[in-house]
A and B are shown apart, each in its own frame.
Chain A
Amino acid sequence: MASLVAKYGEFKEGLYAGIGIAIGYIPAALTYGLLAKSAELSLTETLSLSIFVYAGAAQYMALNLIVIGTGIFEIVLTTFILNIRHFLMSAALNEKAENEAVWKKAAYAFGITDETFSVAAMRRSSINAAYMAGLIIISYSSWGISSGLGYIVGNVLPQVVQESMGVALYAMFIGLLVPSLKTHTKAVILAATAALLNCIFIYSHTFSSGWAIIMSTLLAAVSIEAVDQMRHKGKL
């Protein structure tokens, strides 16, 4: 029984940690629903993408490609290229995952997005299936319900609020980063290096947005780790 209580506590913490994501998904998913309707998708098709794929940027991209009549294979391939960044995020999360049955990890892996990854990765303690379930359920529900609302009733929010809410997920990312910036110089250097590299890659059109995130993250993480370990060994 004690473990059940502990699990419930973890689940609630996950739900609570996901409120920022749920708020941030509302304007993005409303817009997605609206765009899907103008792309002449049915409500079932619109919701299917949100329910099964559950990847915002890929869903927007798919709408664009469907409208211009791109082939199925190219749509799937573009999705793969855009979403392969989650491999890196899952690998990082796996490092702080508690020892649990593999099927549980495979289940919560379904709900890993840029946003749920960021929240889970910045959690002070380790992560487990109960915490991830709470975090994912609130985020996933917001995404699915707002997609449907956007399709059926269009923009339910006043224009000014809709535009301002576009900042929500960025505000959340900043809110996740700031506590570490206060205490860890290494965190500042990592974030600033990856941010700079990502800007360079995006504005110079070196990589598409999915690859740009992978390359800027990896380059920053590897180079700074290398320098750090050389310093520890007294070679620098």
Chain B
Amino acid sequence: MSLSMVIIVVGMTAVTYIPRMLPFIMFKEKELPVFWQGILRNVPHATLGALIFPGILTFHENSWFGIAGAAAAFLIAFMGVNIIFTVLGSIGVLTILSML
């Protein structure tokens, strides 16, 4: 491995790991104000929304492919099955659709 590649790997590792780790050592005693605790409790649902859109529309060149996959995932998940079936079911539906 070239020296520049070593520096890239080390640098990328540091700037990726530090933001992942800092909150766990910064906020040890959970002394955050109530309002901030409320915000952090909102973060997971908000993040999921942002992770799904607009990515689901652009992961495939044809947006309808993503929309069909999302619809399948939503319907399967709504039945209350284990999440693995939601994942495998959506892949299955899209595989069948693209072979039609």
Tell me the A residues contacting B by CB distance below 8 Å.
17, 19-20, 23-24, 41-42, 44-45, 48-49, 52-55, 58, 62, 66, 72, 75-77, 79-80, 83-95, 97, 102, 105-106, 109-110, 112, 114, 117-118, 121-122, 160-161, 163-168, 170-180, 182, 184, 186-187, 190-199, 202-203, 212-213, 216-218, 220-222, 224-225, 228-229
Which residues does chain B contribute within 8 Å of A76, judged by CB atoms? 8, 11-12, 15
Taking a contact as CB atoms under 8 Å apart, the answer to whether A54 and B16 are in contact is yes
Taking a contact as CB atoms under 8 Å apart, the answer to whether B13 and A106 are in contact is no
Question: Contacting A170 at CB < 8 Å: which of B1, B70, B92?
Answer: B70
Which residues does chain B contribute within 8 Å of A62, judged by CB atoms? 8, 12
Taking a contact as CB atoms under 8 Å apart, the answer to whether B87 and A58 are in contact is no
Taking a contact as CB atoms under 8 Å apart, the answer to whether A91 and B23 are in contact is yes
Taking a contact as CB atoms under 8 Å apart, the answer to whether A174 and B19 are in contact is no
Question: Contacting B69 at CB < 8 Å: which of A42, A45, A80, A170?
Answer: A170
Which residues does chain B contribute within 8 Å of A83, judged by CB atoms? 15-16, 19-20
Given contacts A95-B30, A95-B41, A160-B99, contact A194 B35 (CB under 8 A): no
Taking a contact as CB atoms under 8 Å apart, the answer to whether B8 and A174 are in contact is no
Which residues does chain A contribute within 8 Å of B73, judged by CB atoms? 167, 170-171, 174-175
Nearest-Cβ distance from residue B82 to partner chain A, whole angstroms: 9
A196 to B53, CA, bound (A): 7
A117 to B35, CA, bound (A): 22
Q: A55-B12, A177-B77, A198-B54 are in contact. List 5 more A-B contacts (CB 8 A).
A: A23-B84, A62-B12, A170-B66, A194-B49, A196-B53
Contact with A along B12-48 (1 / 0, CB 8 A): 1101110111111101101010010111111111111
Which residues does chain A contribute within 8 Å of B98, judged by CB atoms? 160, 163-164
B interface secondary structure, majority:
helix
A153 to B100, CA, bound (A): 28
A193 to B49, CA, bound (A): 8
Given contacts A171-B86, A174-B74, A228-B38, contact A89 B47 (CB under 8 A): yes
Taking a contact as CB atoms under 8 Å apart, the answer to whether A94 and B27 are in contact is yes
Interface centre among A23, A41, A94 (most CB of B within 10 A): A94
> Can you name 9 A-B pairs with beta carbons within 8 Å?
A17-B83, A20-B84, A91-B27, A106-B25, A171-B69, A171-B70, A177-B49, A194-B47, A224-B46
Which residues does chain A contribute within 8 Å of B19, judged by CB atoms? 80, 83-87, 90
A19 to B85, CA, bound (A): 11
Question: Contacting A167 at CB < 8 Å: which of B27, B28, B46, B66?
Answer: B66
